[in-house]
Amino acid sequence: MSADPAPLDAPRWLSADENETWLQFSEIMIRMPSALDAQLQRDAGLSFYEYMVLAMLSEQSDRTLGMGQLAKLTSGSLSRLSHVVKRLEKQGFVTREPSPHDRRHTNAILTDTGLAKIVEAAPGHVANVRRLVFDALDPDQSAHLREACSVIKTQIDPSGECDISANAPRG
């Protein structure tokens, strides 16, 4: 008599190659934010999240986004975004005001001072991204990374509603 087949709900364990890929990818996910934060803090006095908030606003023709949309684009909770926008507001980089379309919603607006800050911070950030990622890859590897990221992004967000590529900051 043969052994019972594995139950249908048995875990699908990672192969050795998949596990190595996952560990490498996990290490990048863990280490990249601090590498980006360190440069931005040192050179611009901003965290990576603050930079992304300013960058997303700077990419809008009217430099305005609803807080809910901004939270989605920056992968942050409304609570986290609210705290960050409050800090950015105190520095004169952002203002908040009720949405003219729905007074229950709040818009974040990038000020001229905020635009100047993102313009000042962007070159150093882009140089750091280039150093950390693109200088290490040849064009084929870069294309493969872009394709893999696109596929993984679709698994995470099938609707594409949090796709920052449509609002891509430079860098």
Answer yes or no: are the C-beta atoms of 48 and 33 closer than 8 Å: yes
- Mind listing the pLDDT tens digit for each residue in 79-137? 999 999 999 999 999 999 999 888 889 999 999 999 999 999 999 999 999 999 999 99
Percent of the chain with pLDDT over 70: 92
Percent of the chain with pLDDT over 90: 81
Domain 18-167 has CATH 1.10.10.10: yes
Report residue 152 as tokens.
Answer: 């993984």
CA distances (Å), origin 149, targets 4, 8, 134, 156, 163: 39, 30, 14, 10, 12
- Mind listing the pLDDT tens digit for each residue in 23-42? 999 999 999 999 999 999 99
Every domain of the chain and the residues it spans: 18-167
pTM for the structure as a whole: 0.85
b/e 97-115 (16+ beta carbons within 10 angstroms → b) = eeeeeeeeebbbbbbeebe
